[in-house]
Structure 1
Amino acid sequence: MGLRHAGHPNPRVRARVPGLLLSWNTPRPSLSAAARAALLVLARDEDWGVRAEAGGALTAAHDGSSEFTDIIVGLLRDPVADVRACTAEAVAHSTARTAAVADALLALLDEDDLGTRLNAAYGLLLRDDPRTGEAIERVGPLSLPGFEHDHRLHAFWTWKWDRRERSDAE
């Protein structure tokens, strides 16, 4: 179904296509060759909403290839903040764990959007990146109204607590 609409003239229709291209019946979504090709084209779409959706799907189906990694890094550096934010959210939990992806996440810590900064730092923490401490500091205050139950902030507190406990034990 998605392949038929990948070239649709309406960007709202094209934005629905990436989710339709994935086969969710497997532990990690897989792509057919045609779906893969369509998704790579959609990741370069002129409409930012299409690119944002493609970033999430590419990240979910990341196959470890340099082609996917390069596109994901490009989306993390997209000129549109919403594309960067959507891609960072998907990448935080993903299997895309190359140095280039980690570097792109680190660059997102300068974003104005708190959610993007949270996802970037959380992605580095999950990758056990040596820059995690710096990333957490760059997020800003960890006591934020409305974020009392945020799993990312909880993970940051736990990470800091564990480091402090280790230091005290030495």
Structure 2
Amino acid sequence: MTGEDTPYVRARVPDLLLSWDTPRPPLGAAARAALLILAGDGDWGVRAEAGRALTAAHDGSSEFTDVIVGLLRDPAVDVRACTAEAVADGVDRTAAVADALVALLDEDDLGTRLNAAYGLLRRDDPRTGEAIERVGPLSRPGFEHDHRLSAFWRWKWDREDRSAAE
């Protein structure tokens, strides 16, 4: 086996295919095809990195959305977690991605639940309130400065203020 065949090397490829210029130019056909192939790799770490890169380079295509949704439903918990983290701030606002985030609210991993609920909040999804409740207590040791929990508190306070004003 050669070095380029190892999952470690394949997991580094997605970042190499992206330009970090602002604004980011669209992916070329070869880079796009490579990311889509890496999203189906047999190694969970490669799929997780491909999910992050696909989310960052999302071109608005249904093909990218379908692959990202597939990664949010991946059998490997770490792939779902990494993809959810990327998707939370991602540009894809499709119902398919929002529905996949809702499904992640049942994950055992708190970080995945936080990212799923945060992704719904950022999409102004009508299920945000339920999502925040499913995350569990918003006061957690070690999470005092977590931007997601702060956003949940702000979201709740805004609704309480709006209700009080009415």
Equivalent residue number for residue 128 of structure 1: 124
Gaps of 5+ in 1: 1-6
- Specify which of 72, 79, 83 is matched with residue 75 of structure 2: 79
Contact kept? 1:125, 1:132, Cα under 8 Å? yes
Q: Measure how far apart 1:29 and its partner are.
A: 5.5
- Specify which of 143, 147, 150 is matched with residue 139 of structure 2: 143
1:10 aligns with 2:27: no
Q: Measure how far apart 1:28 and its partner are.
A: 3.4
1:26 aligns with 2:22: yes
Q: Quick one: which amino acid aligns to residue 45 of structure 2?
A: G
Equivalent residue number for residue 160 of structure 1: 156
Equivalent residue number for residue 59 of structure 2: 63
Q: Measure how far apart 1:23 and its partner are.
A: 1.2
Q: Measure how far apart 1:26 and its partner are.
A: 3.2
CA distance in 1, matches of 2:81, 2:31: 24
Equivalent residue number for residue 98 of structure 1: 94
Q: Measure how far apart 1:27 and its partner are.
A: 1.8
Equivalent residue number for residue 112 of structure 2: 116
For normalisation by structure 1, the TM-score amounts to 0.94
For normalisation by structure 2, the TM-score amounts to 0.97
Gaps of 5+ in 2: none
* Root-mean-square deviation (Å): 1.1
CA distance in 2, matches of 1:149, 1:38: 37
CA distance in 1, matches of 2:22, 2:153: 34
Q: Quick one: which amino acid aligns to residue 23 of structure 2?
A: P
SS in 1 for 2:5: coil
Identity score, percent = 84
Number of matched residues? Answer: 164
SS in 2 for 1:8: helix
Q: Quick one: which amino acid aligns to residue 52 of structure 2?
A: G
Q: Quick one: which amino acid aligns to residue 61 of structure 1?
A: A
CA distance in 1, matches of 2:25, 2:152: 29
Residues 32/26 of structure 1: CA separation in 2 closer, same or farther (3 Å cut)? farther
